[in-house]
Amino acid sequence: MNYALPIAPARLKEFFHPRSIALVGATDASRWSVITFQNLKNFGFPGPVYCVHPHHAVVHGEPAVKRLRDIPRPADSPVDLAFIMVPTSLVYPILEEAAEVGIRNAVILTSGFSEMGSEGQQLEQSLLDLASRHDMVLLGPNGNGFVNAFSQILPYGLPVQPPLVKGPVGVVLQSGALASAVITLAQARHIGLSLLVSMGNEAMISATDVMDYLIEDDETRVIAVFLESIRQPATFERLARKALAHNKPVVALKVGKSEISARAAKAHTGALVGNDAINDAAFKQMGIIRVPSLEDLLITAEVLGYSAPLRGRRMGLVTPSGGACDILADRAHEEGILLPDFAPATVRGLQQMLPEFSTVHNPLDVTGYIVIDRTLQQRALQVVVEDPGLDFIVYLSEPPRMEPPAPQLGAFLDQYRALGSLIRQARIPVVVMSNTSIDLTPFGRSIADEAGIHYIGGIEHGMTALRHALWWYEMQQRASTHAQQPEDAMPAMHLPEAPAGIWPEWMARNFLQRQGIPVVPGILATDAQQAVTAAQTLGFPVAMKIQASAILHKSDVGGVALNVSGADEVRRSFAAIMRNAGGPASHNAIDGILVSPMRPAGIELLVGIIQDASWGQALVVGLGGIWTEVFNDTSVRVLPVQRGEIARMLFELRAYALLQGVRGKPPVNIENLVDILFRISRVAQALQDRLDTLEINPLLLHGSHIEALDILMTWKH
């Protein structure tokens, strides 16, 4: 499939704001047609909707026309959008007719194209070619259309019940049916949308095109995307960084987890790290928040869309429940959010207003006395919001559900208006959160609108969303700082001529050593006496390892001897290794035996470079040696990566505490380790067109001493 060129945001603005729409294939016998027509009418589409069907004079109670050319429009004012619902074989001639009458935009609901295989791909390509010739823009095929919530324009083939709240969240979905689930959840939680697009097959308009439009859309503050695949990774990365630069968070639910290709599994690294871990790393580096569920997708977008920027992790909690305080404290700990003590002035102010039986601390339970004094929690918030040791506040409150009796309604509204005003005027962000992700009632929505209060959907997802939001603002700050700093320089390289296949370890060692990577000394011996001389030169005890391109895992074939002491033992080990590796018949394929000095025990790391089909090279760092498969403790980044990011990789490891020194062991020189890992990554980048896999396992760490003990390098054919 040849992907279309990107569609500019200005062109999509026209597409998503049609003033007239033709429903092609409109019929009362089709639920698609009935629903699309109802959506346009129910949400008050102000322009004309033309029903087109070759055999019906009246459709949906409206006069119909037989063909697009029969629509009574001036020649200089064609229909803005054709919504096409005809059988697969008729889509191409309908598009031809649309082009003839000057229609420039079309949604193709019809299926039966690239999702059906090669024949369908050819049909879809013909649509794309036709549209490109006539400057048309297509959404779909096999898509439900779009929901322009801000302008209340819904050429969309699945039912949507009013009201549909306009708001800050733009949604892009590589799914049809899930679009309706997202709309329903947004309506239930009173989350306002700007635009929602069901992408279909993305023959022309792609998910990245819509992301680009939303980045430049003034009504959108945050972008939520559901992704089944990333078709054009380079474009996706460019737009992710553009979104970060435009202060537009992107929240992504990416599905489809698979292991990395068998080609890369020749090294431990490929077996440990699957494609999904590399997707995680890529998203993290691009500033994209990845979430595991639709609830987290919308609620994280909700926090980012409705709350003021969160510039620090010190949280104050103001609640009416001791039990909720306990849950929130636990969740804060899990999410890395801090709960500092209140300042003395805050404590004094709270003590003056709260009942004597209350305990003043963070998190704050204002107690059940709010049943008697309904203003108590709000007045406590007025005090806590001035605490200089807090960065933001979570105010736990349930959205109102039932309208009070008429005599009480005025005071009820005044209380919520006052809360909304307090939140807007607060010096730090105040996030209002409900206990659970319960639906808002119509009355609750009206109060929220009247007071300007937004209720985040429940403690569980809400606290996760806060962690995501805090991470994004920290990432944004790092990206801004990094943009002002020069890139780390590429080290000088001495590259090999034209390698291919698998290098024996001695060749890989020599190569990395020339690039400034510290490697344990080694001498290649082709007979027993050379091995003895090498051992005497290097000092006993020694390690002896078979060297042959065809032998990847030396221990599996008996090709390794460790702690060899004395000349006689070297001779016996040499003979045994050669015998195990295949005997005299295999000597032509064996380069010899590598003799190296044994090293004292230390911390062993796995360092690997692997290739990903979407993102290219990735650096993997983790606990190595015999613990590699046991703990699967790894951190991953897509290249290129700077020194600061490598330091964060190390910090992410569960084994990071070992690097700091435990039980009398010396701490590792982190700066030196980061520099070596950075150099390895830059070597890989310099070789990227030729390098297949690079793995060091282990990289031995002992205080300030760092050495690669075992190296595997394979090359693309």
Of residues 666 and 42, which shows the higher confidence score?
42
Q: How many CA atoms lie within 13 A of 621 on its CB side?
A: 26
How far is residue 595's CA from residue 310's CA, in Å, rounded to a whole number? 57
What's the first-to-final CA gap in the chain, in angstroms?
A: 26
Output the six-digit token pair for 403: 């309208």
**Per-residue pLDDT at 200:** 93
What letters, b where the CB count within 10 A reaches 16 and e where it falls short, cover 533-544? bbbeebeeebbb
Q: Which of the four pLDDT bands, split at 50, 70 and 90, describes residue 492?
A: low
**Strands (E) located in 301-448:** 315-319, 364-365, 392-396, 430-433
Residue 264: what pLDDT? 39
Q: In a 10 Å sphere around its CB, with 0-12 CB exposed, 13-18 middle and 19+ buried, how is residue 372 labelled?
A: exposed
Task: Show Cβ contacts of residue 20 under 8 Å, excluding neighbours closer than 6 positions.
Answer: 47, 48, 49, 50, 73, 79, 80, 81
Please check the confidence at residue 716 and state whether its pLDDT lies above 80. yes
Checking if the pLDDT of 669 tops 60, the result is yes
Distance CA 222, CA 473 (A): 13
Asked if residues 21 and 83 have their Cβ atoms less than 8 Å apart, the reply is yes
Q: With 70 as the cut, is the pLDDT of residue 201 above it?
A: yes
Task: Tell me what the pLDDT averaged over the chain comes to.
Answer: 91
Helix (H), strand (E) counts: the chain: 23, 29
Higher pLDDT, 687 or 329: 329
Q: Which two tokens stand for residue 164?
A: 């549909």
| Nearest of 253, 213, 206 to residue 232 by alpha carbon | 206
DSSP, collapsed to helix, strand or coil, labels residue 206 as coil
pTM of the predicted model over 0.85: yes
User: Is a pLDDT exceeding 90 seen at residue 259?
Assistant: no
Has residue 626 got a pLDDT over 90? no
Q: Comparing 151-165, 274-288, 672-686, which segment has the lowest mean pLDDT?
A: 274-288
> Two tokens at 445?
């929505």
> For position 302, what pLDDT does the model report?
97
The answer to whether 324 touches 460, Cβ cutoff 8 Å, is no
pLDDT at 124: 95
At 274 the pLDDT is 57
**What is the band of 6 on the pLDDT scale with cuts at 50, 70, 90?**
very high
Residue range 73-99: mean pLDDT, rounded? 95
Residue 538 clears pLDDT 90, i.e. is over it: yes
Question: What number is the average pLDDT over the span 146-153?
Answer: 98
- Residue 304's pLDDT is what? 98
> What 3-state DSSP class applies to 552?
coil
Q: What pLDDT does residue 481 have?
A: 74
Q: What pLDDT band is residue 631 in, cutting at 50, 70 and 90?
A: confident
Percent of the chain past pLDDT 70, that is, above it, reads: 93
